[in-house]
Structure 1
Amino acid sequence: MNNRNCFVACGKRVVLGVLTAGCLAIPLSALSEDLPFSTDPQVLARQREVYDVVDRYQNGLNTKDTDAIVNLFADNSVAEWNDKTTYATRQQKIDGYNALFRKVNFSTQFAYDAIDVDGDIGIVRTHHHVGATYIEKGKKVADHNRELFVLRRQDGQWKIILYMFNTDPKQGEG
């Protein structure tokens, strides 16, 4: 193995390693259009492809479009939410998002903390802006989500292989 740890997908398990030297991480100080994009055209093109998938996820969330969201996931992917069992199958994801959308209305606008691409793996970290809310049972609820999207390019398309989030009132502060 070289000087960086790798992502290894094993069936339904995804083992995340920490990317070190050679990673295309973009520091927040290098923001372009308020997004952490590279100035290198080749890196930028791959970052935008990965960003597009996460943006479509966000749009699906805001429009309660379970099919659009689930179609962004790879076959052997997982979604891990706070206080829920891991959704490993397509049907589990469909059931999970449908149940969520029966209770909650979103108008989410992700804040992007990092869009990293290394080969066929993309990592996107987002959080919800301070003051963000969602509507549950007709009432505004503070939305303190921090998300991690891990994507893999398969057959020329970027697909989510791991999505997870946690909640923290600091919302992206480091």
Structure 2
Amino acid sequence: MKKLFALLVVLFSVSFSNQIYAQSSEKEAVTKVVKAYFEALNASDASKIVALFTADGQLFAPSAPTAVGTEQLQGTYKYVFDNLTLSLVASVANVTVDGNYAFVTSTSKGSLLVKANNQKSEQNYRELFVLQKVKGSWKIVRYMYNQPA
């Protein structure tokens, strides 16, 4: 009986360790997508950003209409980059993975340059990303940001 109990404890421990490793691996993959988002944002690369979203992805920007789907996302980011240059440093605060969905909160700070008047200002943001695993890859399905009060 003791041997059976010991075997069950070992099997449970191995299974639990594998689950923790898988969870950690998924969190790393999700974090990589968020970091790629900010790299593309700082590079003013609308196409790279849109490629990180699902086909029906949505952007909820403050004081702007919701951008839904690839075409609207592309148009929104093109408009942003035609008018602004961003240079932000992001910090991922929390990553939660639940099955095929992941939730990420982050903060970012840096500069925003308005191209029309060459006016530069310091900015702070907080972000919420919802990602979905699609065909083995993590994609942004919803993204929202605002500025803290």
Question: What range describes the TM-score normalised by the shorter chain of this pair?
Answer: 0.7 to 0.9
**For residues 50-129 of structure 1, what are the structure 2 equivalents within 5 Å?**
50-129=30-109
Shift of 1:90: 1.2
Establish whether residue 47 from structure 1 lines up as the match of residue 47 from structure 2: no
Q: TM-score, normalised by structure 1?
A: 0.70
- Partner of 2:88, secondary structure, is coil
2:125 to 136, 145, 168: 145
Shift of 1:139: 2.0
Structure 1 residues not aligned, in runs of 5+: 1-39, 170-174
Shift of 1:66: 0.6
What is the aligned length? Answer: 128
Q: TM-score, normalised by structure 2?
A: 0.81
Q: Percent sequence identity over matched residues?
A: 27
- Partner of 1:112, secondary structure, is strand
Q: Distance in 1 between matches of 2:108 and 2:40?
A: 16
Q: Which runs of 4+ in 1 moved over 6 A?
A: none
Establish whether residue 156 from structure 1 lines up as the match of residue 133 from structure 2: no
Q: Which has more strand, going by share of residues?
A: 2
- Largest Rg, 1 or 2: 2
The one-letter code matched in structure 2 to 1:46 is E
